[in-house]
C-alpha cells in the first residue's frame, strides 16, 4: 500500500473514531488506526532563552517560550502526544550557574514533559545538586543503569513509566552513559553505573512480556555512534530485543530523519536525536493498527 | 437506564475487540527548527522566566573593569590567549606558596572568538568561560613539559603564559625556554592548568597521573578577580601580542 492511501485510510479511521461507534461497525477492510505523536528534545543545556544576537552561528535560535507555543499547537491537533527528553538538561548558560537547574525543571514541568533521563551534565552540581532540584520536576527521570543507593538521588528516579494513549500501552525506560572519566568522581559520588545493554535487555523484556507494552521507547544518553569501541545507541539497538525506538542524546547529533536498524531478533528499531540547545524539536508519528494477531493490513516493512 | 441495557453493549464491545492487538504499522518523522521569527513566545512561560532573568541580568550587567582594545583569539599567539594565560599564572601565584613556572590553557576552552573593547561585565566573563572548569597546580618533569608543548605545537599553539617561549618545527616544540632558561629535562616544573586537561582531556592523557593539587578555584572566578584587581589599581586590560610561540 502506498503512503497516500495509508494516510487516507488513517484519516478515514479518524472520522469513524469521532462517531464513537467504530468497533461494532467497522468492516475488516477498514482497520482501526491509532496515532501516537512523540515529541522530543535532548541536550537542551540550560538554553532557556534563544541564543543571543551576537553574530554567532546559532544567534536567535531556540528558546523555551517559543518551544512551548509549538508544543501547544501540536497538542491541539493531536490527541495522543508524548513529550520526552534524553538528558543534559543542565549546564551551558548562567541560568544553571546561578539557579542550579531549578528553572530548567520548572519550565519542563510547565511544558508538560512526560519523562526524561539523566545526562552526564545533570551531575554538574553534584548528585546532591540534582536531588535538590527534583522537587521542581512533576515528571519522572527514568534510568535503569544508575544505582543511586546511598546517594541523595536514592528513590528519586524510576526504571520505567507506562503511558496509555488511546488504548495503546507505551513503556518508556532510560539508560545513562558511563560516568567515570567523563564526570569528576566527586560529582557523581557513590552512583553505580552498570552495562546499559544488559539493563536495556532486562527492562525491555519486562515491559514487553510482563507489562504487555505495545510500544517500547528507550531514552538514552549514550550518544549516537563512536569510531572507537564504545557503547552507543547504534550498539544498543543492534544488541537488544524489544526496543522499538531509541530517543538519543549526548553527541549533539542533528539527525535529518530517524535511523532504522535491526535488533538482535531481526526486528526494526529506530534511533532519533535532534542536536542540542532546543534548536530543534523532534516529532515521530507512530501508527498502530488494531487487528487480530498475525493480521495487519496497513503494516509496512519498517526495516526498509 | 436499567442494568440490562448497559451489560449487553458492554458484552458486544468485549467480543468485538477480543483477541485484537496493536500492530506497529508505520512511523513518520519530521523536525521543527525554532528560528527567531518562527513561533510566538508563550506568555505564561515567559512570565515564569522573567523574575529569574531580571535577577540574573542584574548580576551579569555589573561592570568589573575596562578593556583597552578588542582582543582576538588566535594561534599560535594572540592578545586574548596571552591575557588569559597570564591571568592564570598570576592568579595561581597569588594562592600558591611555591613559584609557578608557567600556565597553559586549552585553546578550545576559551569560548569566544573576540573579546570586545570597553566596559567588562560579569556576563562577558561567562561568555568567555561558561563551564565550571577549575584551576589545578601540576608538577611536571622536564620530559613531561616537552610532551605537553609538543602536543600544543602539533595543534598550532595553545595559550601559554609569558614565562615560556618555543618555536614550532614540523609540529614539535623546539628551543623551549622557561623563565629565560633552556628547558631542563631533568628538572621538575610547577604549572597552573585547567582541570579539563589535567584530567587527560584533549588527548593530554599523560598528564592524568602526574602529581596535582585541585585549587577548587573556578577559572571564571579567577578571571573576574583578575579584572577587578586591575580596576582597583586603576588599570585596564591591555595585553600585547608578544611572540611566545613562533613558527
What's the pLDDT tens digit per position in B136-194?
Answer: 999 999 999 999 999 999 999 999 999 999 999 999 999 999 999 999 999 999 999 99
Please give the pLDDT value at position B45: 98
Please give the pLDDT value at position B201: 82
Report DSSP state, residue A209: I
Looking at CA atoms only, how far is residue A211 from chain B in angstroms? 14
Looking at CA atoms only, how far is residue A260 from chain B in angstroms? 10
| The pLDDT of residue B127 is above 90 | no
Pick A278's closest partner by Cβ from B22, B34, B41: B34
Looking at CA atoms only, how far is residue B16 from chain A in angstroms? 6
B positions 2-31 inside 8 Å of A (CB):
12-13, 16-17, 19-31
Across the range B218-232, mean pLDDT stands at 96
What grid cell was written down for B240?
Answer: 600585547
What grid cell was written down for A119?
Answer: 545526562
User: Which of A94, A261, A298 would best serve as a mutation to test chain B binding (most B beta carbons within 10 A)?
Assistant: A94
A positions 71-130 inside 8 Å of B (CB):
72-73, 91-95, 97-99, 103, 106-107, 110-111, 124
Note whether B96 and B79 are within 8 A (CB). Answer: no
Closest CA to A145 of A197, A189, A187: A197
Q: Which residues of A touch B51 (CB under 8 A)?
A: none
Residue-wise burial string across A86-105, b where 16 or more C-beta atoms lie within 10 A, e elsewhere: bbbbbbbbbbbbbbbbbbbb
Other C-beta atoms lying within 10 Å of the C-beta of residue B186? 7
Enumerate residue ranges in chain A where pLDDT < 50.
1-26, 303-304
Q: Which residues of A touch B12 (CB under 8 A)?
A: 24
What grid cell was written down for B33?
Answer: 527548527
> Do B31 and A299 make contact, defined as CB atoms within 8 angstroms?
no
> Do A214 and B25 make contact, defined as CB atoms within 8 angstroms?
no
pLDDT confidence tier of residue B19, bands split at 50, 70 and 90: confident
pLDDT confidence tier of residue B65, bands split at 50, 70 and 90: very high
Domains and CATH numbers, chain B: 62-238 (3.90.780.10)
Closest CA to A98 of B47, B122, B133, B64: B122
Q: Which residues of A touch B200 (CB under 8 A)?
A: 181
Q: Which residues of A touch B126 (CB under 8 A)?
A: 94, 97
Please give the pLDDT value at position B5: 55
Note whether A96 and A73 are within 8 A (CB). Answer: no
Amino acid at each position: 500500500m502506498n503512503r497516500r492511501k495509508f494516510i487516507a485510510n488513517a484519516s478515514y479511521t479518524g472520522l469513524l473514531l469521532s462517531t464513537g461507534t467504530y468497533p461494532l461497525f467497522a468492516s475488516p477492510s477498514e482497520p482501526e488506526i491509532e496515532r501516537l505523536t512523540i515529541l522530543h528534545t535532548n541536550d537542551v543545556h540550560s538554553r532557556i532563552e534563544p541564543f543571543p544576537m551576537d553574530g554567532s552561528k546559532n544567534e536567535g535560535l531556540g528558546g523555551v517560550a517559543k518551544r512551548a507555543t509549538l508544543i501547544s499547537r501540536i497538542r491541539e491537533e493531536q490527541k495522543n502526544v508524548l513529550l520526552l527528553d534524553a538528558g543534559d538538561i543542565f549546564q551551558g548558560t548562567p541560568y544553571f550557574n546561578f539557579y542550579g537547574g531549578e528553572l530548567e525543571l520548572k519550565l519542563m514541568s510547565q511544558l508538560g514533559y512526560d519523562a526524561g533521563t539523566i545526562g552526564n551534565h545533570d551531575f554538574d552540581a553534584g548528585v546532591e545538586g540534582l536531588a535538590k532540584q527534583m522537587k521542581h520536576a512533576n515528571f519522572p527521570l527514568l534510568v535503569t543503569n544508575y544505582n543511586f543507593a546511598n546517594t541523595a538521588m536514592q528513590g528519586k528516579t524510576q526504571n520505567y513509566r507506562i503511558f496509555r494513549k488511546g488504548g495503546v500501552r507505551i513503556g518508556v525506560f532510560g539508560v545513562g552513559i558511563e560516568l567515570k572519566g567523563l564526570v569528576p568522581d566527586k560529582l557523581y559520588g557513590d552512583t553505580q553505573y552498570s552495562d546499559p545493554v544488559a539493563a536495556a535487555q532486562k527492562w525491555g523484556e519486562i515491559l514487553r512480556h510482563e507489562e504487555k507494552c505495545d510500544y517500547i521507547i528507550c531514552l538514552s544518553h549514550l550518544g549516537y555512534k563512536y569510531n572507537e569501541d564504545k557503547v552507543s545507541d547504534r550498539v544498543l539497538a543492534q544488541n537488544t530485543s524489544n526496543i522499538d525506538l531509541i530517543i538519543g542524546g549526548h553527541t549533539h547529533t542533528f539527525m535529518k530523519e530517524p535511523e532504522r536498524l535491526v535488533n538482535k531478533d531481526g526486528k526494526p528499531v529506530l534511533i532519533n536525536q535532534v542536536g542540542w540547545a532546543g534548536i530543534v524539536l523532534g516529532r515521530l508519528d507512530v501508527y498502530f493498527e488494531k487487528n487480530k494477531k498475525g493480521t495487519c493490513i496497513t503494516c509496512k516493512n519498517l526495516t526498509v | 437506564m436499567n442494568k440490562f441495557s448497559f451489560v449487553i453493549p458492554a458484552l458486544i464491545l468485549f467480543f468485538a475487540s477480543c483477541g485484537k492487538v496493536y500492530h506497529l504499522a508505520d512511523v513518520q518523522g519530521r523536525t521543527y527548527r525554532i528560528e527567531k521569527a518562527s513561533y510566538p513566545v508563550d506568555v505564561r512561560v515567559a512570565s515564569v522566566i522573567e523574575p529569574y532573568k531580571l535577577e540574573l541580568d542584574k548580576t551579569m550587567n555589573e561592570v568589573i573593569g575596562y578593556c583597552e582594545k578588542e582582543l582576538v583569539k588566535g594561534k599560535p599567539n594572540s592578545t586574548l590567549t596571552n591575557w588569559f594565560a597570564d591571568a592564570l599564572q598570576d592568579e595561581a601565584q597569588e594562592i600558591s606558596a611555591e613559584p609557578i613556572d608557567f600556565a597553559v590553557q586549552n585553546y578550545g576552552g576559551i569560548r569566544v572568538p573576540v573579546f570586545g573593547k570597553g566596559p567588562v561585565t560579569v556576563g562577558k566573563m561567562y561568555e568567555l568561560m561558561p563551564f565550571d572548569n577549575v584551576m589545578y597546580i601540576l608538577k611536571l618533569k622536564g620530559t613531561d613539559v616537552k610532551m605537553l608543548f609538543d602536543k600544543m605545537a602539533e595543534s598550532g599553539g595553545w595559550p601559554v603564559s609569558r614565562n615560556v617561549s618555543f618555536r614550532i618545527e614540523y609540529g614539535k616544540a623546539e628551543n623551549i625556554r622557561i623563565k629565560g632558561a633552556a628547558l631542563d629535562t631533568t628538572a621538575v616544573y610547577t604549572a597552573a592548568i585547567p582541570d579539563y586537561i589535567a584530567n587527560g582531556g584533549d588527548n593530554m592523557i599523560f598528564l592524568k597521573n602526574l602529581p596535582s593539587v585541585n585549587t577548587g578555584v573556578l577559572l571564571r572566578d579567577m578571571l573576574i578577580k583578575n579584572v577587578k584587581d586591575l580596576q582597583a589599581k586603576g588599570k585596564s586590560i591591555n595585553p600585547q601580542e608578544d611572540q611566545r610561540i613562533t613558527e
